[in-house]
Amino acid sequence: MFENDYIMRQIRGMAAVLARLLFGKSATEYVLPAETFGEADRLHLELVKRIEEGRLEEAENLLFDRLDPADPDTLKVALDFYARLEKLDPAYLSAHGFTEDDIALGLAHAAGAFGHDDAARVFLTFLSEKER
C-alpha cells in the first residue's frame, strides 16, 4: 500500500512539474472552451468517456494515436488523462488492465513525445530504481 501511495505521489508531482514548466500552471485539469471545440477538446471528451466506461487501455491507445507535438493542447489533454487515472482506485485500475506503473510510463512517454526527453528520462530512471 505504501509503495502504491508513493508511486501515485510521484506521478502527481511529475504531472504538476510538467504543467508548471510547459504551461505556467501546476493544475493538470484540462478545461474545455466555452464555444468552439478543436481536435484536442474532442480527444479530451473521448478519453473521459472511455475512462468512465473502464476502457483504459483503449483510451491510452487513442491518446497516443492522436498526440500531436505541433498542438500543445494535446499534451494538456495527456496530463489531464493521466491525472484522472492517478485518482482512480488501484483495484479499479487493475480490473481494467492498468497499473500505477502504466500511468507513470505513459506520462513519461507523453512528455518524451513533445521533446521533453530529460523529464521523461528522469521519471523512467526513478521507475527503474524503484523496481530494484
For residue range 76-119, what is the model confidence (pLDDT) as tens digits?
A: 899 899 989 988 998 999 999 998 888 888 988 888 888 877 76
CA dist., res. 25 & res. 97, Å (int): 31
Q: Which residues contact 8 (CB under 8 A, 6 or more apart)?
A: 86, 100
Q: How far apart are CA 28 and CA 30, in angstroms?
A: 6
pLDDT of residue 112: 85
Q: Rounded CA gap, 108 and 77, in Å?
A: 14
**pLDDT at position 12, please?**
67
Q: Residues 54, 58, 59, CA angle at the centre, nearest 5°?
A: 75
Is a pLDDT exceeding 60 seen at residue 132? no
Q: Are 28 and 71 in contact (CB under 8 A)?
A: no
Tell me, yes or no, if the pTM score tops 0.85: no
Residue 46, pLDDT score:
97
- Which one has a higher pLDDT value, 109 or 18? 109
Mean pLDDT of 22-30: 66
Residue 130: its pLDDT value, please? Answer: 56
CA atoms of 78 and 30, how far apart (whole Å): 9
